[in-house]
């Protein structure tokens, strides 16, 4: 009743709770976190509490799905990706151009025997994996992974372009070896046996008949993003990598009597894929202090001028641009410029860092010096991810 209400009502507060401020003024909110007032002695942290080059907590678990040949769940912060690899058999009889392409490739190898071994192997790998489409990745951003994904809609442009990125990275890194995917048949040397009864002197001359490829394994690599909170590519690629490392293909052989491929159901016979290297993806975004810088100043300074200007401002403690590693959904919405670096290290981490893919677009803030830093950050991330993937 009236007596229970306080006699001195609290005046309505003019301040907003942080969560509301974050929704109303997202750019100012993140900027305030990144550039705290000098007097407050606070470190420059992102709104999610991470330092600029800090990645989210990552966890991986392999072999989560029972009905696949290999599977993995990778979680980077609140972004979670499930990947399943399923192998199916593709008979060479079902490949329309098989006999033609086989004949032409044999001719090629006859012509250039002096070429390096790895070189011709590369070519054959590409010919088989790429031309026969033995790797089929697909990524789906399922309903409910983030608001805005409505049920029953066609695959979004984002999902399609991520599928393409996964496929082209699988091809350009040559991660899967074509030899793992081939099913061979060694025809028995019937002539030798027949001859052997009559005379065992000349049997060496005839030799064994050449073995032939009877079928291929096709790997269907399906990635499902079950929760999307920014940076889907890193999570999807990590899940593909973990799932392929987990993949076991059953021992398969051509049965000449039944004229079909048979597979062994003994798990001990199954073989893991031998992957080439361990490419790890790291994505970044660039956050500009002045959200309107791109369009208000119609006359944009030259690259050198701009750099000098930024250096000057940085000295005065007014940083204009932050490169944020592993951006979450909130940060992705506030920045246009993106960069992605995929690195690998030779000799299982002891050798040099090799860049496998590098991309940046959507702005002119990042220059060559920034890219060099990003490669260093990505190389550190490689060590971290290798540890996580080895444990899973």
Partner 1 sequence: MVGPTTSLSQLNRADGSASYKCPATGYNILGAVNAPVELPGRRDALKPEEATVEVFVKPGTTTAGVGERYVEGILRSVLGKVVLGREKGFPRRGVVLTLAIVGGENIERGDSYLTILPALLHAGLLAMMSASVPLSMTFAATLLCVTKSGDIVRDPSPTAAKAAVSLHVFAISSKSHLLLNESEGRFDFDTWELARQHALSICQGASDSSDGDVSMSEGKDGSLNGFIREAVEDQIYSDYAYKLDSI
Footprint of partner 1 (CB under 8 A): 126, 130, 133, 135, 148, 157-158, 160-161, 163-165, 167-169, 171-172, 294-295, 298, 300-304, 306, 336-338, 352-364, 366-368, 371-372, 375
- Shortest gap between Cβ of 167 and partner 1 (angstroms)? 5
Q: Is there a contact between 76 and 55 (Cβ–Cβ < 8 Å)?
A: yes
Alpha carbon of 292 to those of 43, 177, 289, 367: distances in Å?
25, 48, 9, 20
- Shortest gap between Cβ of 118 and partner 1 (angstroms)? 11
Nearer to partner 1, 58 or 283 (CB): 283
Nearer to partner 1, 289 or 375 (CB): 375
DSSP state of 221: E
**Distance in Å from the first CA to the final CA of the chain:** 61
Q: Is residue 57 exposed (0-12), middle (13-18) or buried (19+ Cβ within 10 Å)?
A: exposed
Q: Is there a contact between 138 and 223 (Cβ–Cβ < 8 Å)?
A: yes
- Shortest gap between Cβ of 228 and partner 1 (angstroms)? 16
Q: How far apart are CA 166 and CA 223, in angstroms?
A: 10
Nearer to partner 1, 207 or 301 (CB): 301
Structure tokens, 240: 């593909």
Nearer to partner 1, 99 or 172 (CB): 172
Nearer to partner 1, 129 or 249 (CB): 129
Q: Is there a contact between 167 and 236 (Cβ–Cβ < 8 Å)?
A: no
- Shortest gap between Cβ of 364 and partner 1 (angstroms)? 4
For residue 98, the tally of other CB atoms under 10 A from its CB is 16
- Shortest gap between Cβ of 128 and partner 1 (angstroms)? 13
- Shortest gap between Cβ of 119 and partner 1 (angstroms)? 8
Nearer to partner 1, 250 or 363 (CB): 363
Q: How far apart are CA 133 and CA 13, in angstroms?
A: 63
Alpha carbon of 65 to those of 69, 72, 80, 238: distances in Å?
9, 8, 15, 16
DSSP state of 189: -
Nearer to partner 1, 263 or 371 (CB): 371
Q: How far apart are CA 392 and CA 123, in angstroms?
A: 33
Contacts of 353 (CB under 8 A, 6+ apart): 343, 344, 345, 375, 379, 382
Nearer to partner 1, 271 or 373 (CB): 373
Residue given tokens 């009559």 in the structure block: 198
- Shortest gap between Cβ of 249 and partner 1 (angstroms)? 21
- Shortest gap between Cβ of 298 and partner 1 (angstroms)? 6
For residue 155, the tally of other CB atoms under 10 A from its CB is 13
């Amino acid at each position: 009743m009236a007596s229970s209400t306080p006699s001195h009502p609290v005046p309505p507060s003019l301040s907003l709770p942080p969560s509301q401020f974050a929704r109303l003024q997202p750019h100012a909110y993140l900027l305030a976190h990144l550039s705290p007032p000098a007097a407050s002695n606070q470190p420059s942290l992102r709104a999610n509490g991470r330092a600029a080059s800090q990645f989210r907590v990552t966890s991986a678990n392999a072999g989560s799905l029972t009905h696949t040949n290999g599977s993995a769940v990778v979680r980077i912060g609140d972004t979670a990706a499930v990947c399943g690899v399923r192998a199916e058999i593709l008979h060479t009889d079902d490949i329309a151009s098989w006999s033609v392409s086989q004949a032409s490739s044999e001719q090629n190898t006859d012509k250039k025997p002096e070429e390096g071994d790895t070189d011709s192997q590369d070519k054959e790998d590409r010919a088989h994996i790429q031309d026969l489409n033995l790797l089929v990745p697909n990524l789906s951003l399922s309903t409910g992974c983030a608001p805005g994904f409505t049920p029953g809609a066609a695959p979004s442009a984002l999902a399609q372009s991520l599928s393409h990125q996964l496929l082209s990275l699988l091809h350009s890194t040559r991660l899967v070896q074509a030899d793992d995917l081939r099913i061979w048949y060694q025809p028995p040397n019937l002539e030798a046996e027949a001859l052997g009864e009559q005379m065992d002197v000349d049997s060496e001359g005839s030799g064994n008949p050449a073995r032939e490829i009877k079928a291929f394994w096709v790997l269907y690599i399906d990635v499902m993003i079950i929760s999307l909170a920014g940076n889907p590519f890193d999570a999807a690629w990590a899940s593909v990598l973990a799932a392929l490392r987990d993949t076991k293909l059953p021992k398969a052989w051509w049965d000449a009597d039944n004229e079909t491929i048979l597979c062994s159901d003994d798990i001990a016979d199954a073989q893991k894929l031998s992957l080439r290297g361990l490419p790890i993806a790291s994505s970044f975004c660039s956050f500009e202090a002045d959200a309107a810088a791109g369009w208000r100043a119609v006359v944009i300074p030259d690259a050198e001028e701009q750099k000098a200007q930024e250096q000057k401002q940085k000295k005065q403690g007014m940083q204009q641009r932050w490169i944020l590693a592993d951006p979450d959904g909130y940060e992705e919405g506030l920045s246009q410029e993106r960069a992605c670096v995929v690195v690998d290290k030779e000799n299982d981490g002891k050798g040099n860092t090799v860049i496998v893919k590098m991309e940046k677009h959507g702005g002119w803030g990042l220059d060559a010096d920034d890219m060099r830093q990003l490669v260093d950050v990505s190389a550190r991330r490689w060590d971290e991810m290798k540890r996580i993937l080895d444990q899973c």
